[in-house]
Structures are given as structure tokens and as C-alpha cells.
Amino acid sequence: MLVKNKQTDQLYNRAVNDYATLFSTTYRHLADSAEFSVVYIVQPMRSDIKYQDGFYTHMQRLDSLLKVNKCTSINLLPSMEKAIVTDTSFHYSWKIDGHYNGKGYAVMGQIIADTLGTINFHFEPSEGEQ
């Protein structure tokens, strides 16, 4: 879809508001009714680390809205920027499309595990899952 920059920002802002509402109401209700917890992971792409092109500000706004609505979320950008230096970001993703490779997902997984431990996120395994 080709739209002007101002229109693009308006579309992204509307999408962020819609997703924040969906996550904090409908998804929360589903999670509560099934008695499980949800953690939202806000994941940057390689371009967010390499170029810091401004797109991720919409994701950071979503993260803020989730936290305001008492949803548990983890914004990976600050930790990913520390772990993956701008000059080496290509070592953690596929060169063609920018999706993370195994090395990138390993870093991301470690950050998520560390953060869950820090926020004292705890879950009880179901019977037979131990």
C-alpha cells in the first residue's frame, strides 16, 4: 500500500491503539477465562537496531499502552541493542530478509528468560508437563 508519510503514521497510530485495546480487553478476558497468563514480546527487527529508522517508535508506544493497561510485556529493543552492536547486526539475522537466524533467536531467548526471572513471572506446569 502506497500512502503519504503523514497517512502512514496515522495508520500505524490507529493500529497501535486497536491492538492495545484488543490485547488488554479481549485477549485478557480469554486468558483469564482459561486461567493462563500472557506475556507480550515486543520484538525489533534488524533494521530497528541497524538503522534506528523510527518505525519502532510505534512498537514502543504499543508496549507503553500495554503496561498502562496492566498487561505484562517485554520490550526487547534496549536489550537487543546492547547485545547486538549496530555494526554486527547482520551476524544475527538472515542477509536477505532481515529475520533473525539461530544466533539472533538465541540472544532473544536469553533476554526473554532473564527478564521473566527479573519480573518474577511464574507459571505452574499442568499435570504431566514437568
Residue 63 in domain: yes
Residue 73 in domain: yes
Say which range, 22-26, 34-38, 48-52, has the weakest mean pLDDT: 48-52
Residue 125 in domain: no
Of 39, 36, 41, residue with least CA distance to 129: 36
Segment 74-126, tens digit of pLDDT: 999 888 888 887 667 778 888 888 788 999 999 999 999 999 988 877 666 66
Residue 23 in domain: yes
Residue 22 in domain: yes
State the Rg of the chain over Cα: 17
Residue 10 in domain: yes
Residue 59 corresponds to which cell in the numbers above?
512498537
Instruction: Identify the domain containing residue 62 by its residue range.
Output: 5-118
Number of domains in the chain: 1
Residue 129 in domain: no
* Residue 76 CA neighbour count, 13 Å, CB half: 23
Q: What is the rounded end-to-end Cα distance, in angstroms, of the chain?
A: 47
Segment 19-32, tens digit of pLDDT: 999 999 999 899 88
Residue 127 in domain: no
